[in-house]
């Protein structure tokens, strides 16, 4: 989601994203330092080794623990890149770069939104995109769309295989899990119209309708992407507060039904629960970009409706993010996995939820107002203090969940699903 002038109240640009992936897939929030003169000539991405560049920007990245790249992130030049899976009929079967690799590469190598855009499209056309995108199911692979933003401009990039179309956007924009650019794009990959005609996906010599030509008609994305797109557009149009980033945190938490087991195709925060819903929101991010400063907030945990956003910066990594560690199952040193223990206790009983959410909302309001009141060295100090306090507060709820005894519930499909998931993930109540 993007809010930018003229829709934003303060000329800043706001970016928000939920990462919807299989439940039990731990996500890390890591910081990668800048590199000035690196003599390394190659870099191993998730499935493919490509040429390295000697100079790279510092990056904050929210990533599945097993992947080289990430779902979303920012660099120290104020560029934000987020991705969205799309199913197209031009997807390549051979391993290439996956969308998460392109997010990281665009951030490491692009000092502006436009530079990052050019990095991604050039790598895409050179190496293609393909390869396993889920850890536990290597058959899952997809193409990607991207939002690429800095304090001056935002680009929407949609791709299908090695082909792409891009549009500069303004106001309010939602990136959907299906191609949406018709013929209103500003640039496209070389010979896009001729390629679509050759494939029999388009007629005539005019610009090709990208969404109509490249969408996979028999494999539309599951989970109600159209309904979520419509609801998000309505929610964003209704925002009118002083702090849009605070409101966006609440938007990312929206669920149609309050009950833990209630699910709807209009849910913004996804909650897994069976074959009809096999995805979970496993991490979330909100960013505010202005010419004078950037603020980044990450949950570092799944279920944003049961998580708190924490300030993260290039000199302030999020704690409890063990790297080079097998995080395929519960790990005590991982913030994500410890929070998952609390999250799943709430799924079996909502008794813990109400007090947690009330406290959290107040803490987030205080966080945003405190940050807005500080700048310079004071800002760095207050960010650190706030993150420490929020992690300590969250630890108190994690401790409660460790001693929590789940009640005996009726054996519904939802309960059976999560009990199986708990066994698979090594979480024992």
Place of tokens 């306090």: 389
* pLDDT tens profile 373-427: 999 889 999 999 999 999 999 999 888 777 766 555 556 888 889 989 999 999 9
Q: Which residues pair with 56 in a beta bridge?
A: 35
Nearest Cα residue to 134 out of 219, 61, 25: 25
**Looking at residue 353, what is its pLDDT?**
81
Task: State both tokens at 358.
Answer: 């009330």
8 Å CB contact between 331 and 337 = yes
Instruction: Please list the residues that pair with 72 across neighbouring strands.
Output: 62, 82
User: Strands 154-160 and 59-64: what pairing?
Assistant: unpaired
Q: Distance (Å, rounded) from C-alpha 208 to C-alpha 316?
A: 45
Task: Give dist(CA 134, CA 141) in Å, integer.
Answer: 8
The pLDDT assigned to 369 comes to 96
The pLDDT, as a whole number, for residue 326 is: 97
State residue 257's pLDDT score. 67
- pLDDT on residue 399: 82
Q: What pLDDT does residue 249 have? A: 98
Q: With beta carbons less than 8 A apart as the criterion, state whether 25 and 1 touch.
A: no
Q: Which of 60, 78, 29 lies closest to 391, judged by CA? A: 29
Q: What is the pTM of this model?
A: 0.95
Residues of the chain with confidence (pLDDT) below 70: 205, 218-224, 257-262, 349-350, 404-411
């Amino acid at each position: 989601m993007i809010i930018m002038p003229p829709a934003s109240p303060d000329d800043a640009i706001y970016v928000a994203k939920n990462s919807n992936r299989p439940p039990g897939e731990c996500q890390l929030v890591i910081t990668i330092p800048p590199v000035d003169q690196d003599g390394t000539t190659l870099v191993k991405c998730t499935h493919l080794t490509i040429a390295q560049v000697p100079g790279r920007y510092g990056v904050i990245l929210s990533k599945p623990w097993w992947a080289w790249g990430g779902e979303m992130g920012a660099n120290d030049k104020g560029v934000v890149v987020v991705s969205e899976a799309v199913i197209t009929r031009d997807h390549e079967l051979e391993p290439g770069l996956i969308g998460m690799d392109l997010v990281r590469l665009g951030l490491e190598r692009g000092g502006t939104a436009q530079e990052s855009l050019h990095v991604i499209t050039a790598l895409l056309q050179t190496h293609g995109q393909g390869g396993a995108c889920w850890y536990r199911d290597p058959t899952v692979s997809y193409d990607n769309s991207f939002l690429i933003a800095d304090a001056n401009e935002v680009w929407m990039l949609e791709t299908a295989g090695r082909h792409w179309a891009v549009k500069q956007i303004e106001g309010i924009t939602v990136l959907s899990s299906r191609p949406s650019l018709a013929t209103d794009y500003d640039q496209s990959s070389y010979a896009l119209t001729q390629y679509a005609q050759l494939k029999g996906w388009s007629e005539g010599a005019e610009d090709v309708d990208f969404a109509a030509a490249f969408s996979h008609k028999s494999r539309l994305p599951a989970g109600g992407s159209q309904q979520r797109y419509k609801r998000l557009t309505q929610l964003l149009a209704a925002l009118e507060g002083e702090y849009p980033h605070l409101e966006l945190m609440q938007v990312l938490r929206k669920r149609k039904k309050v009950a833990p087991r209630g699910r709807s195709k209009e849910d913004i925060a996804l909650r897994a629960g069976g074959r009809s819903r096999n995805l979970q929101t496993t991490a979330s991010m909100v960013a505010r970009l202005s010419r004078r400063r950037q603020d980044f907030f990450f949950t570092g945990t799944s279920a944003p409706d049961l998580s708190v956003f924490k300030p993260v910066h290039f000199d302030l990594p999020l704690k409890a993010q063990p790297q080079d560690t097998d995080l395929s199952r519960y790990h005590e040193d991982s913030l994500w996995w410890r929070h998952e223990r609390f999250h799943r206790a709430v799924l079996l009983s909502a008794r813990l939820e109400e007090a947690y959410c009330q406290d959290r909302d107040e803490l987030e309001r205080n966080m945003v107002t405190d940050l807005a009141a500080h700048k310079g060295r004071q800002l760095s100090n207050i960010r650190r203090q706030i993150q420490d306090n929020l992690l300590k507060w969250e630890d108190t709820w994690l401790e409660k969940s460790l001693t929590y005894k789940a009640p005996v519930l009726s054996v519904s499909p939802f309960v059976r699903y999560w009990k199986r998931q708990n066994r698979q993930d090594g979480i024992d109540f």
